Structure 1
Amino acid sequence: MSRKYFGTDGVRGRVGNTPITPEFAMLLAQAAGRVLKRWTHDGEVGVFIGKDTRVSGYMLEAAMQAGFLSAGVDVMLGGPLPTPAVAYLTRAQRLNAGVVISASHNPFYDNGIKFFSSKGTKLPDELELQIEKEMDRGYQCVDSAQLGKARRLDDASGRYVEFCKSTFPSDRDLKGLKIYVDCANGAAYHIAPDVYHELGATVVCDGDHPDGFNINEGVGATHTDTLPQRVAKAGCDIGIALDGDADRLIMADSEKVYNGDLLLYLIAKDRLVRRGLAGVVGTLMTNFAVEKKLKSLGVAFHRAKVGDRYVLETLQKEGLQLGGEGSGHLIILDKQTTGDGIVSSLQVLAVLVRNRTTLRDALAEVSLTPQVLINRRYPKGYVWTDDENLQRAIAEVSARLEGKGRVLVRASGTEPLVRVMVECEDASEAKQVCEALAGLIPAGQ
């Protein structure tokens, strides 16, 4: 059964257009509340709500709160919080579900709603389908005597700061490090700087003055082209960039940006040396060099579909703890139940402090394979998997690049695009091959 509203990461869209309207948010909360009540043995349900710094968060938070209360569900409000903070606090407060109002790395005019289970993980598909089906019943309100109650968790940010610090080795600190922290004018603006400062670092902040409209605007984990220059100008040893809801992490020194693939490798290598490592999960887009290097160390590498949801599913299926994406979503299951930019950064910093090294020296042994990506818009009715010429060319190129690169062709899930990606040790060859394959796809409007 296909889902009408939930995507791979909750419900998301342009504010003011369905489904990101106050009416939809209220009905969604009502439906979720009724389903959650059926899933609990006593029918008593409590939900935690957090949001990022978008101006529309106030509107959607109020609508979600009204929806839950009218379904007889109690609500705990956390205010602006990173997505992983909601996952943690939902568990810590022993609540039945958590809700995050955020569109992550998108511009301020988008927003989204996603749910966490009582265990701090994404809701099962089955539960999301039940919520969608329940929405078809429309508006319903319980009797006044059964209405839910709301209260605010006043020290939500402080509790999460302490949780983050607890994931860093208790016998280590960050004294002597000067860290540049880009909070993307997002949900971690009042949290991330405190975490690093309280662990002993000197902190220089950027993107820590949200106004409701500037989230992700030229700052954060999706705007890192100038991050090394900013790190150098601030006289810092290392740079940390988070996205709007702080579940992504990109790092830099004064010369280079280190993406999620490289940071995943650094953490994996350290774990392998210190206590052994059975395997790592990446995605179809994870750089070939990382897979090759991990396999040379005897570490099994598994590729999931693109998206942290699928990384988590594969981790659970394979019984592993460490996975991630080049975009900066890193999942470290023995530290946190979901991707967490701050917690992930602390695992990287722990490696550097423990070994008295730098990002540059620790990752000198890994050189990412040149990667070329072309998005090709196709005409209506075109099915790339049925294109015999394209399929033949993909097979021929894949055979030619075996051992030194790879080809990945996949459709976009939201637009009429085919994404062609070629990795090859020779950058010019990668570009040539990618352009040739993309050229076989008929152009759309």
Structure 2
Amino acid sequence: MRTIDLRGRELSRAELRALVPRAAMSADEAVERVRPLLEAVATRGEEALRVQAKEFDGVDGHTLRVPPEQIEASLATCPPEVETALRELIARLRKGSAAQVPEARVTTLASGATIRQRWQPVSRVGLYAPGGKAAYPSSVIMNAVAAQTAGVPSLALASPAQRDNGGLPHQAVLWAAALCGVTELYAIGGAGAIAAFAHGVPEIGLEPVDMVTGPGNIFVAAAKRVVNGIVGIDAEAGTTEILIVADEFADPGYLAADLISQAEHDEAAASILVTDAPGLAAAVQTEVMARVEATQHAQRARTALAGPQSAIILVDDLATAVRVSNAYGPEHLEIHTVDNEATLESITDAGAIFLGPTTPVSLGDYLAGSNHVLPTGGTARFTSGLGAHTFLRAQQIIEYDRSALAEVVDPLIALARAEGLPAHGEAVTARFENRD
């Protein structure tokens, strides 16, 4: 991993954002690469999806919509210990997601004047689960359970077709769909899946959705950016990121293991350590080099750790480390300091935060009860991770009786006249005209 030395430098937030590691390919570049793929699906539907499946997934002639009975039958091949783990993930996530559903409230402004606040789920959601370098049944569950907890009535799931599974999505994706009760599943991947959700594909019975959610690589994130506005999106959840803020008391072995755990996702994954302890930085470098060789995906992890998106950043103190983290806005933030709560108080921008030596990011990936679909690429500065709240819309229901309306006639007319909109006031006074 390269080292970026920021010691002795007074840098603004904008300067820090320019200096923190980022992937070589920008989101804008990815948008231009996926736009033709999206347009092809919008205009040519199934034909374009099959062309893209052959080019990107190496699959041809497969069934794009998976029969529901095939989803259910897949559980026969699920190892018992995996099914147990998936069921535990579902149970924990349902509890964590339930806490994200706000209660309906009624505000009484005066006698006979009320505003009811309710939270209405979107009607139909397209859930995306990646399927390139790994299988992601956990992502299926993260999306489906959050949407179900919010009360979304219609769910469609898409995941790339697999050559070694007869053109179906990965077997583990089928298991997760079955356990969550998702019956509408498509063997469609990448940008094409996002376009199919947004525009619909009548030939295969895929109706357009109202919102698209789920993680993916930078091209999936770019596709979501393009369709945003045609449909809603959760966030641009692209290639994974971990940033660790640590002081001299942190365990270098733990930090190295956590950096590698995210690097194994993808060659473009970002692994960053920010510390005020040069000795710790050196120890982590040594641990990373030793541990990465023993991991199954050593080559992939080495590439990610050596890439421009990964680094060890040296700073003067923990306050500066926190400023670096906030400027970066990491998807996953780990805090390993002598006083984690004090460090946490200054953190403002992160997708999910993991405190202390026994709370690794991989816990959040699976069984913490939190959701692992999180904003990447710095978007945690202005958006949150996936949850039941993602699928809910705040709606205000206003009800005034005649007496309550009468109390605000004069100030309402005054405001309407001030804005040059007298008919607004007349719409109120019409309620008090004598029509005899």
TM-score by length of 2: 0.21
Which is greater in Rg? 2
Greater RCO structure (CA 8 Å; 6+ sep): 2
Higher helix share: 2
TM-score by length of 1: 0.21
